[in-house]
């Protein structure tokens, strides 16, 4: 299956052009060339999608878990069957290495459907018995039409992480992928048609955030918005949806700390720290961007970290040898570079990377950057406080557990934290005090889809994953029945 040149919206079970007839350019980050076009949708497309979703809701919400299970499992199976095409499309669209799309993004997208298909069959609600008086049971009913808006860093992975639980719980969805990475959502629409998903149950509207995304958030008929993206966009969404009393799930930015104690398993820590720093060019919300090392280990860590980072191969994302592909867009590359300039101004020493590598042939126009490690920065400086979301990390030593905790907790963010120590008591103590929604001890990015996923402080509101997601996408109603 070759990707289309002109992408379509998916509304009411059909692939349709935008009402305006206008299209946006879609760039291949590995070359900087336009390679396809996506609908520049507006509120008229969203209106059609919402109407289709409303029409589909009565049947889908009453279809029962087994029918929903069967349909979602068919979607998962088709993604699996077309895995190669999906992985290639994801790589061309986002600039990430094919090895990553093929081993992480696409397997996880189909796992999301499989996981929530089975979760729908297991989901149960509570009952509260009042001795001799009454019984209460909690009805959990789907909300209706919900909006799902996702970012570009893990395009299909995060889009399906929202869509799958929303559909499993019996809702109908109007979704918008990032305008920078629309291709696999377009392929997903084809898969849904092939899988026999009833028309209108899932609608995908492509386009710009402030236009198409805004229309989904502001539409009076979307009952809930599940959003993953930047903190500033999240704040704006709250200002629109909050006064309309919509349910909101917000997965926002991060500035995740890694705390490395001197007693850690050095080899395991080094291997995972390389991944947590530079996987997907550091463009994963869970990547650790501030690395704090207990002083006795600092120099050994720094030298080995720099050596391994310099050995990473920045190459065309379709090349099998590529460890780091291209950043997602020219604008994002320039934003990351502006933080490198800021780090220098703030007194940081760039120990390696931070420059554009010389590329050959069509790759000369791509958005490549060598991964960078910076030391010598104060914890309060902007480089250490603001999200960069690129292949850039800072390192600094610490002396005591208290200092490590203060450094880790010293930002407005609180998504994830990683800590490395062989001392189980310390690991427990520190994990308890870290201000983060997710703490990894002696590992990184080990994911069980049943666990609550989300951040504290400016990293978000609410949790995704497992029953948390099914609860978000349903409204609890208490039914009280008096005895006798």
Catalytic residue ranges: 251, 285
Choices 38-46, 183-191, 247-255, 471-479 (CB under 6 A): range interacting with ligand NDP: 247-255
Nearer to ligand NDP, 251 or 315 (CB): 251
254 binds ligand NDP (CB under 6 A): yes
Binding ligand NDP by CB under 6 A: which of 13, 200, 325, 460?
A: 460
Nearest to 251 by CA among 468, 472, 471, 459: 459
Closest contact distance (angstroms) between CB of 38 and ligand NDP is 9
Residue nearest to ligand NDP (CB): 209
Closest contact distance (angstroms) between CB of 464 and ligand NDP is 7
Sole residue written with tokens 């850690």: 264
Closest contact distance (angstroms) between CB of 68 and ligand NDP is 25
Nearer to ligand NDP, 182 or 200 (CB): 182
Q: Determine the size of the site formed for ligand NDP (CB under 6 A).
A: 33
Structure tokens at 136: 């209460």
Q: What string of DSSP letters covers 349-367?
A: EEEE--SPPP--GGGGGS-
186 binds ligand NDP (CB under 6 A): no
What are the two backbone dihedrals, phi and then psi, of residue 408, each rounded to the nearest 5 degrees?
Answer: -60, -40
Torsion of CA 345, 348, 352, 356, to 10 degrees: -20
Residues 146-165 that bind ligand NDP (CB under 6 A): 149-153, 158
Closest contact distance (angstroms) between CB of 253 and ligand NDP is 3
**How many of the other CB atoms lie within 10 Å of CB of 223?**
19
* Beta-carbon contacts of residue 363 (< 8 Å; ≥ 6 apart): 30, 31, 316
* Beta-carbon contacts of residue 442 (< 8 Å; ≥ 6 apart): 264, 265, 268, 269, 419, 420, 421, 427
288 binds ligand NDP (CB under 6 A): no
> Is the four-CA dihedral 433, 434, 438, 441 of positive or negative sign?
negative
> Is the four-CA dihedral 215, 220, 226, 230 of positive or negative sign?
positive
Nearer to ligand NDP, 68 or 176 (CB): 176
Kindly provide the b/e burial profile for residues 69-106, where b requires at least 16 CB atoms within 10 angstroms of the residue's own CB: bebbbbbbebbbebbebbbbbbbbbbbbbbbbbbebbb
Closest contact distance (angstroms) between CB of 236 and ligand NDP is 5
236 binds ligand NDP (CB under 6 A): yes
210 binds ligand NDP (CB under 6 A): yes
Nearer to ligand NDP, 45 or 179 (CB): 179
82 close to 92: Cβ distance less than 8 angstroms: no
Binding ligand NDP by CB under 6 A: which of 172, 252, 396, 404?
A: 252
Closest contact distance (angstroms) between CB of 249 and ligand NDP is 10
Point out which residues bind ligand NDP (CB under 6 A): 149-153, 158, 176, 178-180, 208-210, 213-214, 217, 228-230, 233, 236-237, 251-254, 285, 387, 389, 415, 455, 459-460
């Amino acid at each position: 299956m070759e990707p289309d040149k002109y992408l379509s919206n998916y509304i009411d079970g059909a692939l349709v052009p935008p009402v305006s007839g206008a299209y946006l350019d879609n760039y291949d980050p590995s070359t900087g060339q336009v390679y396809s076009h996506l609908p520049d949708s507006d509120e008229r497309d969203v209106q059609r999608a919402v109407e289709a979703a409303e029409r589909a809701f009565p049947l889908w919400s009453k279809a029962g878990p087994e029918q929903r299970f069967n349909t979602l499992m068919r979607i998962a199976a088709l993604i699996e069957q077309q895995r190669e095409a999906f992985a290639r499309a994801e790589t061309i669209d986002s600039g990430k290495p094919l090895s990553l799309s093929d081993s992480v993004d696409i397997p996880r997208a189909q796992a999301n459907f499989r996981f929530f298909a089975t979760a729908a069959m297991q989901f149960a609600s509570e009952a509260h018995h009042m001795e001799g008086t009454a019984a209460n049971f909690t009805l959990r009913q789907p909300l209706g039409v919900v909006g799902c808006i996702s970012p570009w860093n893990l395009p299909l992975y995060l889009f399906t992480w929202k869509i799958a639980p929303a559909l499993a719980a019996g809702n109908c969805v109007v979704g918008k992928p990032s305008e920078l990475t629309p291709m696999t959502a377009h392929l997903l629409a084809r898969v849904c048609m092939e899988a026999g998903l009833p028309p209108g149950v899932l609608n995908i509207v492509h386009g710009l955030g402030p236009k198409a995304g805004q229309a989904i958030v502001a539409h009076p008929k979307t009952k809930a918005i599940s959003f993953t993206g930047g903190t500033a966009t999240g704040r704006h969404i709250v200002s629109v949806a909050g006064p309309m009393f919509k349910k909101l799930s917000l997965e926002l930015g991060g500035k995740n700390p890694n705390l490395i104690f001197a007693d850690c398993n050095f080899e395991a820590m080094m291997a995972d720290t390389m991944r947590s720093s530079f996987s997907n060019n550091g463009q994963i919300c869970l990547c650790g961007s501030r690395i704090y090392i207990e002083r006795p280990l600092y120099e050994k860590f720094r030298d080995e970290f720099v050596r391994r980072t310099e050995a990473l191969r920045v190459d065309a994302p379709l090349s099998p040898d590529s460890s780091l592909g291209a950043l997602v867009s020219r604008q994002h590359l320039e934003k990351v570079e502006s933080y490198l300039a800021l780090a220098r101004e703030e007194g940081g020493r760039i120990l390696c990377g931070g420059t554009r590598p010389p590329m050959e042939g069509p790759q000369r126009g791509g958005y490549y950057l060598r991964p960078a490690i910076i030391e010598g920065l104060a914890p309060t400086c902007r480089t250490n406080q603001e999200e960069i979301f690129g292949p850039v990390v800072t390192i600094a030593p610490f002396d005591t557990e208290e200092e490590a905790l203060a450094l880790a907790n010293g930002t407005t963010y609180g998504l994830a934290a990683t800590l490395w120590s062989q001392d189980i008591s310390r690991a427990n103590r520190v994990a308890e005090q870290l201000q983060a929604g997710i703490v990894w001890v002696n590992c990184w990015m080990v994911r069980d889809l049943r666990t609550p996923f989300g951040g504290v402080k400016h990293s978000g509101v609410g949790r995704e994953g497992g029953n948390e997601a099914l609860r978000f996408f349903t409204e609890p109603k208490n039914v009280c029945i008096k005895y006798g």
